[in-house]
Chains A and B, each alone.
Chain A
């Protein structure tokens, strides 16, 4: 069994020769693969993530979801051939880009237990309005700074992924942190730059193109 890490441009893949991983090429693409670990633990998932980040620091990638394995290199090559044109188009969309992750949640002090059903619903509505308003503000803030912003699932918190040019990642992160420092009503975290996981699959430009 082999684990699939990422798809990259064949022309760039030569820089990964010393990575300790194997490269399978077809057309303009190369697939970065390695032997599948025998265990599946949190550490294995993190190790996979760190490896992908290392690859992404050197070349443009479409990262595979953790746990994607195939029987052997032949099966991987078949996938590369079958999905090649879609992956080329997707890789072009994330070329030169990384992902920033934003989380915003009301402070824990606001989590006092509701005394009635009506109060509980009222709290849910207020929280939802607060998070939607924050999403709007962030959308304005990121216009012209990010290529795409996507809201990820999570009704208890606001989770946004921004596709940003790698060279702009740090300046955009600073802008976001400055915004976060003005919000007493939200606890905000900004992490990344990450490999563009949230923009790697078809249908993931469903976010707002900015």
Chain B
């Protein structure tokens, strides 16, 4: 692999790292309760997406980065 190709791959990994692991996330809070009794308070930093769309975030940047290489 040439030096230029390696540099391109590193740039792709860094871009994926940012796209998947950084950026604005929509925050929210949720209180789980049963019969009107608050049981657990969760501070969420949720990505509002169905599982099939949010998949790569769960996989993580490293896995995608390896794939990119």
Contacts and interface: CB of A to CB of B under 8 A. Distances in A.
Contact of B56 (A45, A53, A103): A45
A155 B28 CA distance: 29
Interface in B7-51: 7, 10-12, 14-27, 47-50
Main secondary structure of the interface of A (DSSP, over half): mixed
Interface residues of B, number: 31
B26 to A, nearest CB: 6
Contacts of A68: 23-26, 47-49
Interface of A: 1, 7, 36, 40, 42, 45-46, 48-50, 52-53, 62-70, 79, 83, 87, 90, 99, 101, 103, 152, 159, 161, 189, 191-192, 194-195, 197-198, 200-202, 204
Contact of B24 (A40, A159, A191, A200): A200
Determine which residue in A49, A63, A70, A161 has the highest number of CB atoms from chain B within 10 A of its CB, and name it.
A49
A197 B20 CA distance: 10
A194 to B, nearest CB: 6
B14 A45 contact: no
Contacts of B24: 7, 62-65, 68, 87, 90, 200-201
